[in-house]
Chain A
Amino acid sequence: MGRARTVFWKEVKDLSRDYRTIAYVVLLPLVALPGMALLSGGLYTAQMVTVGIIDEDGSQLSKAFVEGLAGYIVRSVQGATVEVVVGGRGDFTVIVPRGFGESLTKIDGRTYLTLSYSPGPPVFSAIESAVRSYTLAFERAVVEGRVSSLADAAGLEVNVDSLLDPIEVRVSYVTPGGAPAGREAGVIAFSARIIAFSLFFVVNPAVVFMSDAVVGEKERRSLERLLTAPASPRDVLAGKLAASLLLSLAAAVADSIGIVAFFILSGASFEVGLGLAATWAASTIVLVAFTSGLVAALSAWSGSLRSAQSTSFAVLMVALAIYFSSLIVDFESLPGWAKAVLLAIPYTHASIAIFNASFGEAAGVIIHLGILAAFTILSFIAALRMFEPERLVSFK
């Protein structure tokens, strides 16, 4: 253990003095990710959009609609600066056609609105959404009037709300196991997806530090000397793994904070309870350990720096695929063969553990973290088998 500790000391000193890499891997996410959110948010706010509303009808009703719509757009479209011009065209134009008022005052009249804009910018989608919301509310008032007049004509007493909206949708969240979950479960579940996605950024530094510790040392021509010192390959590997783990965890913390800050500053709701936070931390530690072991094995097996980089890149791509899918895919709903493939990939278990934690399902957390821990032990064994002096010294 003493010699492994000495190698660890050397590795930490050596890696931590690679200031440029440390800056890229640890400091950059802390600054760049929140910065990106602030920048994109700032740029969004800086947009100036003109909404033109043309009232071709000029009726009492159309005037009321235009006035209400203008105010609603200004109030509801957040972020960008929106100016509404009544009577002229804008970047986004709403045309209220001739006969608008007359159609709406008939018992079964129907009219339309024309929206004219170049598709693409999210702010235009937000304006369209505002127009649709306001129109829906206006429609409802029109329909209420029609229903009331029909009811009066028929001599009936009618609850207009019940007539128009006879089915109310009530949501009751449950855990994947069927137990009731609180109203906050939706936000927590979304937070869990963000956390699962952030695990990709956790994997990345471990790849950088571990491949550098193995192949980098060979490239810097100091590995052969180390392998003839009175430290066994196991001591050397243990020291390197421990150092890589320490620095990768520091980077992982920075990355996790950065990615969560990015989503929060971008306007996403984020809520993490104690269980989810603990699972997040445990998943991060085990995931970094697994990736370090895997990359150590792959780097020792690769035989060249280029090959080590390519295989490490492949590992990153698998992790990216899994964690990006975590944002949009429910693993439990996948067909059996797809689930079997995904469960054979260690990275999947970190995602599933986090989803389980978001619903308070401790057994699922323990099972999937346990599987990931077993994969981690296997990765260490593989690394030890690959960390053989002849293989390392023979690198091309």
Chain B
Amino acid sequence: MEDCGGLAACMRGVWKRLGGRDVLKGVTLSVEKGSVHVVAGLNGSGKTTSMRVLLGLYKPDRGVVRLLGRDPRGPGRGELMRRVGYVPEDAQPYERLTGLENLLFYARLYAESEEEAWRLVEEAAKITGLDWSVLERQRAGSYSKGMKRRLLLAAALMHSPDLLVADEPLSGLDAISAFNIKRLITRLAGRGSTFIITTHDLRVAEELADRVTFIHAGKTVFEGAVRDALDSFSADTLEEAFVRAVGGGKG
């Protein structure tokens, strides 16, 4: 079994059966610290399940999983989760709470004191670029899809996690909202944060990724630097490399 030492996130030969079907059939993932790592795959390829296993929401049937060097389902999970941020696919804020109350709720879960919680809220508000009066007065249910996504990203980033996992963070967003979020990720990546971003859109991967993992039909079919992916598949774009990696989509 390959060593996971020094990696921000690591999966080795992970299998997971759900609903009577093997959804993961040997997923391998190596996320280096300080990198933006894109996990790309077709819809239903096992990206979300892989992230859930990585975050300890699912117990793997087989294989090794390490998150910031630790078993995500092992003892001290609460402490481990303080160092991780997560934005699930299609996640929604609490719509009957204001944006500020949403942020305060998560801040209180991460902070040790009320003062620290408010400091995290202020930090999160800065990260999102959302207007304080909008956060304070309007319920999150009235926000646009882009604003909701920024709010969730802020809630995931407020505690300055060592690793942020975002599952399809740009899906369904308009061009401006997607641009704002990509800019936010790029800015934070420049500060040394580690990101795992899943996407089925290879253009997003091309724009953001240092390294990529291609998952197809529950298996890792390629893992490495973006340059290596292009070289390995003699491709000009990641999209082309991906199509070749998955054999044109047959699985």
Q: Which residues of A are interface residues toward B (Cβ below 8 A)?
A: 2-3, 6, 9-10, 13-14, 17-18, 220-222, 224-225, 227-232, 389-390, 393-394
Shortest distance between the CB of A117 and any CB in chain B (Å): 57
Q: By the criterion CB–CB under 8 Å, are A389 and B109 in contact?
A: no
Q: Which of B81, B93, B95 contacts A228 (CB 8 A)?
A: B81
* Neighbour of A221 across the interface among B59, B78, B79, B92, CB < 8 A: B92
CA distance A122 to B123 in the complex (A): 70
Could you list some 20 contacts between A and B, CB below 8 A?
A6-B108, A10-B101, A13-B101, A17-B139, A222-B91, A222-B93, A224-B57, A224-B88, A225-B87, A225-B156, A228-B55, A228-B86, A229-B81, A229-B106, A229-B109, A230-B78, A230-B110, A390-B58, A394-B18, A394-B58
Give Cα A389 to B57, complex, Å. Answer: 5
For A230, the chain B residues whose CB sits under 8 A away are: 78-79, 81-82, 109-110
The answer to the question of B34 belonging to the interface, with a C-beta cut-off of 8 Å to chain A, is: no
A13 to B95, CA, bound (A): 11
A18 to B139, CA, bound (A): 12
| In the bound complex, CA of A224 to CA of B108 (Å) | 18
| Chain A contacts for B236, CB-based, 8 A | none
Inter-subunit contact B18/A232 (CB<8 Å): no
The reply to whether A6 and B52 form a contact with Cβ atoms under 8 Å apart is no
Residues 51-92 of B, flagged 1 when their CB comes within 8 A of A and 0 if not, give 010011111000000000000000001110110101110111
Give Cα A390 to B59, complex, Å: 7
A220 to B84, Cβ gap below 8 A? no
| Contact (Cβ within 8 A) B81 A220 | no
Name the interface residues of B89-140: CB closer than 8 Å to any CB of A: 90-97, 101, 105-106, 108-110, 139
Min C-beta distance of B49 to chain A, whole Å: 10
Whether the pair B91, A225 counts as a contact (CB closer than 8 A) is: yes
Nearest-neighbour CB distance to chain A for B12, whole angstroms, equals: 20
CA distance A375 to B11 in the complex (A): 43
Q: Which residue of B lies closest to A394 (CB)?
A: B18
Number of A-B pairs whose CB atoms are under 8 Å? 79
Q: Are B92 and A229 in contact, CB atoms less than 8 angstroms apart?
A: no
Q: Is B202 an interface residue (CB 8 A)?
A: no
Q: Give the CA-CA distance A184 to B127 in the complex, in Å.
A: 70
B15 to A: closest C-beta gap in Å: 15
* Known A3-B109, A390-B58: A14·B84 in contact at CB below 8 Å: no
Chain B residues at the A interface, C-beta cutoff of 8 Å: 18-19, 52, 55-59, 77-79, 81-82, 84, 86-88, 90-97, 101, 105-106, 108-110, 139, 152, 155-156
Q: What 3 A-B pairs come out closest when comparing CB atoms?
A: A17-B96, A6-B108, A224-B88
Known contacts A230-B110, A390-B58: A221-B88 contact under CB 8 Å: yes
Please give the distance in Å from B128's CB to the nearest CB on chain A: 16
Chain B residues closer than 8 Å to A390, beta-carbon distance: 57-59
Given contacts A228-B55, A229-B106, A389-B56, contact A10 B84 (CB under 8 A): no
Contact B109 A231 (CB under 8 A): yes
Contact status B82-A393, CB under 8 Å = no
Pick the contact of B78: A9, A232, A394 (CB < 8 A).
A232
Chain A CB count within 10 A is highest, among B55, B77, B86, B109, for B109
CB-defined contacts of B110 to chain A, threshold 8 Å: 229-230
Q: Which residues of A contact B96 (CB under 8 A)?
A: 13-14, 17-18
Given contacts A228-B86, A230-B109, contact A222 B57 (CB under 8 A): no
A228→B92 contact, CB < 8 A:
no
Contact A393 B109 (CB under 8 A): no
Residue of A with least CB distance to B87: A225
A78 to B51, CA, bound (A): 73
B169 to chain A, nearest CB (A): 13
Chain A residues near B52 (CB-CB < 8 A): 224, 393
Give Cα distance in the complex from A224 to B156, angstroms. 12
Q: How far, in whole Å, are A303 and B213 apart by their CA atoms in the complex?
A: 31
Q: With A17-B96, A228-B86, A390-B57 in contact, is A221–B91 under 8 Å at CB?
A: yes
Chain A residues with CB below 8 A from B101, complex form: 10, 13
CB neighbours of A10 from chain B (8 A): 94, 97, 101, 105
B59 x A225 contact (CB < 8 A): no
List residues of chain B with CB within 8 A of the CB of A393. Answer: 52, 57-58
* A225-B18 contact in complex given A390-B58, A393-B58, C-beta closer than 8 Å: no
Enumerate chain B residues within 8 angstroms of A220, measured Cβ to Cβ: 92, 94-95
A231 to chain B, nearest CB (A): 5
Of the candidates A9, A17, A394, the one whose C-beta lies within 8 Å of that of B105 is: A9
**A18 nearest in chain B by CB position:** B96
B90 touches A221 (CB 8 A): yes
Q: Which residues of chain A come closer than 8 Å to B105, judged between CB atoms?
A: 6, 9-10
Assembly CA distance A9 to B106 (angstroms): 12
Q: Do A225 and B152 contact each other (CB < 8 Å), given the known contacts A13-B96, A220-B95?
A: yes
Q: How far is the CA of A226 from the CA of B58 in the complex (A)?
A: 15
- Chain A contacts of B94 at CB under 8 A? 10, 14, 220, 222
CA distance A224 to B91 in the complex (A): 8
Which of A220, A225, A394 lies at the interface centre, i.e. has the most chain B CB atoms within 10 A of its CB?
Answer: A225
Q: How far is the CB of B198 from chain A (nearest CB, A)?
A: 14
| Nearest CB in chain A to that of B106: its residue | A229
Which A-chain residue is minimally distant from B53 (CB atoms)? A390
List residues of chain B with CB within 8 A of the CB of A222.
91-94
When chains A and B are docked, how far (Å) is the Cα of A220 from the Cα of B94? Answer: 8
- Of A3, A9, A17, A227, the residue contacting B57 (CB under 8 A) is A227
- The winner among A13, A17, A229 for most chain B CB atoms within 10 A is A229
Report the separation of the CA atoms of residues A220 and B91 in the bound assembly, to the nearest whole angstrom. Answer: 8
